[in-house]
C-alpha cells in the first residue's frame, strides 16, 4: 500500500502531527497536481497530496460529463465551495475541460462525482460514496480523497501521472 493510501486511511495521526508546525515557506505558485477522468468512471489519481494553496486540477479526458463535489464524511453535507462540473471531450486534439481548486488548511478532503456515485450513511454514521445504482461497469464508486499536507514524503508519493495535464493514452468513452 502506498504512503498516500495509508495516509488516507489513517487520517488522524497526520492531522495530529501537523498541529503546531510553523507554516512552511511558500514556494511561488506551486505546480498543480492533476487528477484525470479517463473513461472508466473513476478518478485516476486517488488519493493525491497537495500543499495548502497548491492547485488541484481535475482534467476530464472522458467523453462524458462529471461533477466533482466535496463532502464531509462526518456530517454527510456537500460543499458549496468545492463544487465543480466538467463537460466531456470529443477525444485527442480536442479541448478538455478542467476544474481547479485550492485548499487553505491541512486535512483530508473527500469528493465524489454525483453523476456516477451517491453518498450513503454507513451504520456507524460515517458518510461514504457508493456506486450509483444503474451505473454500469466498474466496481469502485467514482470518488476520491485529497490530502492537504506539508509532509514532503506524502507530497513526493503522488502517482507520476499527477504531474501531467494531458495523458495521451487515456481518452475514452
| Residues of the shown chain interacting with Cu ion in the complex, contacts defined by CB under 5 A | 66, 113, 115-116, 142
Contact assessment for residue 109 and residue 152, using Cβ atoms and an 8 Å cutoff? no
Q: Which is nearer to Cu ion, 69 or 154 (CB)?
A: 69
CB of 131 to Cu ion, least distance (A): 11
Distance of CA 17 to the CA centre of its chain: 22
Distance CA 163, CA 160 (A): 6
Q: Which is nearer to Cu ion, 109 or 154 (CB)?
A: 109
Which residue reads 475514452 in cell numbers? 172
Give the CB-nearest residue to Cu ion: 113
Q: Which is nearer to Cu ion, 47 or 88 (CB)?
A: 88
CB of 142 to Cu ion, least distance (A): 5
CB of 4 to Cu ion, least distance (A): 22
C-alpha cell at 52: 495548502
C-alpha cell at 24: 512552511
Amino acid at each position: 500500500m502506498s504512503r498516500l493510501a495509508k495516509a488516507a486511511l489513517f487520517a488522524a495521526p497526520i492531522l495530529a502531527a501537523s498541529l503546531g508546525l510553523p507554516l512552511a515557506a511558500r514556494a511561488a505558485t506551486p505546480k498543480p497536481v492533476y487528477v484525470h477522468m479517463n473513461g472508466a468512471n473513476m478518478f485516476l489519481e486517488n488519493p493525491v497530496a497537495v500543499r495548502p494553496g497548491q492547485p488541484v486540477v481535475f482534467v476530464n479526458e472522458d467523453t462524458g460529463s462529471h461533477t466533482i463535489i466535496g463532502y464531509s464524511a462526518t456530517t454527510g453535507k456537500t460543499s458549496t465551495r468545492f463544487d465543480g462540473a466538467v463537460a466531456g471531450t470529443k477525444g485527442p486534439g480536442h479541448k478538455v475541460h478542467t476544474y481547479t481548486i485550492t485548499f487553505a488548511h491541512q486535512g483530508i478532503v473527500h469528493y465524489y462525482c454525483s453523476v456516477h456515485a451517491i453518498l450513503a450513511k454507513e451504520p456507524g454514521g460515517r458518510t461514504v460514496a457508493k456506486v450509483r445504482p444503474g451505473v454500469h461497469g466498474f466496481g469502485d464508486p467514482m470518488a476520491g480523497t485529497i490530502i492537504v499536507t506539508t509532509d514532503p514524503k506524502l507530497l513526493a508519493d503522488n502517482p507520476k501521472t499527477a504531474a501531467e495535464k494531458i495523458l495521451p493514452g487515456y481518452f475514452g468513452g
